[in-house]
């Protein structure tokens, strides 16, 4: 690859121009409405969370205190806040009530470790901004900045056995989530309104509409070629729709003892085939693995291999995943859209100069190009 000085100095991505401390008084007033009279709630601590992971909803950490049965109670909480539209958010809308409801129901119907959800102000009527509040869970998250495949972090330094425990226990989460029955009724709110006669058709059409928003008036030839490829290589059998987490990558999970203790970030949840989550899980790792190779780093090539993930999933569920090449291309196209949008976001905040083409923002361009050429799996 020529001379490479080492891994890039990737910095935190600017996510918001909003001062989260402005929420304090509004949260205290809202909590006073929710809690019994005389609770005297206060928010003694409130701050923005680390920006090492995630590029969508804002995360605010807070401590809430109130009087209950004559004694003072204190809870460590997290507020998930819709981003300011002026800050070039990743998605065109943030349905926080939808996220609140899916977390609540998954917690009620399964043993998938989701945080307890407390309250929702999805309209923003009480607090001035759409948000919901959930419990704060302590655990370790594989870092995005720098990517965990670059080394010098707890997952990279783990033993092969510990990594395999994390991999298999994450697949177990997907297996249990996908095992929820009667989803058309229980999770009807996850059904998409986009055109299409199947859940997958509606999901892909939803992605096309998202791309039209995310490109901000620019055109990505690579993303558009990818969307055309999906139409031309549609699976002959889609399989039943399940509750699909959507953003099923390990960077959205907190781990304790190399097992999930909190499954987070449900913004992309929908009804759809199981393979949506399986392909996203493995390709999200592949993106970071490819970045490690660009900078001539060893990476983690034996981790989250698609064949091993599919085999584990089949052993847990009895369902053999199919057409994973299609779903992996679909995952790669979506990552391309994310990179286009976050690149434009960095331009907005003055962190990047606008390139000649938005395709220059797409960090997974090489793998997507090889997928479209049919050489990625050879």
Q: Which residues on neighbouring strands pair with residue 74, listed in sequence order?
A: 65
- Beta carbons of 150 and 7 less than 8 angstroms apart: yes
Distances (CA, A) of 322 to 154, 178, 238: 33, 15, 9
3-state secondary structure 198-267: CHHHHHHHHHHHHHHHHCCCCCCHHHHHHHHHHHHCCCCCCCCCEEECCCCCHHHEEEECCEEEEECCCC
Structural tokens at position 333: 């196209």
247 is catalytic: yes
Per the CB < 8 A criterion, the answer to whether 190 and 98 are in contact is yes
Q: Which of 144, 247, 265, 277 is catalytic?
A: 247
**Cβ atoms 241, 369 nearer than 8 A:** no
Relative to beta strand 259-263, strand 253-256 is antiparallel
Burial class from Cβ neighbours inside 10 Å (0-12, 13-18, 19+) for residue 63 reads middle
Please give the C-alpha separations between residue 174 and each of 110, 197, 251, 260, 280, in angstroms, as whole numbers. 11, 25, 15, 11, 11
DSSP 3-state of 365:
helix
Q: Which two tokens stand for residue 130?
A: 């759409």
Per the document, the length of the chain is 378
Residues annotated as part of the active site: 247
């Amino acid at each position: 690859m020529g001379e490479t000085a080492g891994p890039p100095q990737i910095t935190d991505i600017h996510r918001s121009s909003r001062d989260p401390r402005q929420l304090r008084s509004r949260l205290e007033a809202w909590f006073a409405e929710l809690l019994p009279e005389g609770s005297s709630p206060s928010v003694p601590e409130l701050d923005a969370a680390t920006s090492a992971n995630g590029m969508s909803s804002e995360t605010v950490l807070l401590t809430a205190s109130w009087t209950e049965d004559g004694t003072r109670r204190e809870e460590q909480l997290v507020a998930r806040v819709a981003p300011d539209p002026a800050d070039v958010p990743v998605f065109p809308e943030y349905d926080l009530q939808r996220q609140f409801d899916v977390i609540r129901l998954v917690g009620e119907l399964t043993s998938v470790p989701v945080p307890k959800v407390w309250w929702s102000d999805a309209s923003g009527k009480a607090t001035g901004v759409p948000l919901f509040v959930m419990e704060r869970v302590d655990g370790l998250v594989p870092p995005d900045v720098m990517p965990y495949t670059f080394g010098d972090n707890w997952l990279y330094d783990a033993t092969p056995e510990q990594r395999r425990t994390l991999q298999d226990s994450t697949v177990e989460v997907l297996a249990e989530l996908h095992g929820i029955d009667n989803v058309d009724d229980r999770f009807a709110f996850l059904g998409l309104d986009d055109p299409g006669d199947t859940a997958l058709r509606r999901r892909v059409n939803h992605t096309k509409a998202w791309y039209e928003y995310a490109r901000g008036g620019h055109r990505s030839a690579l993303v558009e070629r990818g969307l055309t490829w999906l139409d031309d290589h549609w699976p002959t059998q889609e399989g039943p729709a399940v509750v699909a987490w959507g953003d099923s990558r390990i960077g959205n999970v907190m781990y304790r003892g190399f097992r999930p203790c909190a499954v987070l970030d449900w913004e992309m949840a929908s009804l759809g085939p199981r393979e949506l989550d399986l392909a996203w899980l493995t390709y999200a790792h592949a993106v970071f693995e490819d970045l490690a190779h660009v900078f001539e780093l060893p990476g983690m090539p034996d981790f989250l291999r698609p064949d091993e993930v599919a085999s584990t999933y089949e052993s847990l569920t009895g369902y053999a995943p199919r057409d994973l090449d299609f779903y992996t291309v679909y995952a790669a196209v979506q990552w391309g859209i994310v990179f286009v949008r976050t690149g434009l976001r960095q331009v907005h905040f003055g962190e990047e100069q606008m390139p000649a083409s938005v395709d220059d923002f797409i960090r997974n361009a090489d793998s997507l190009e090889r997928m479209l050429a049919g050489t990625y799996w050879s």
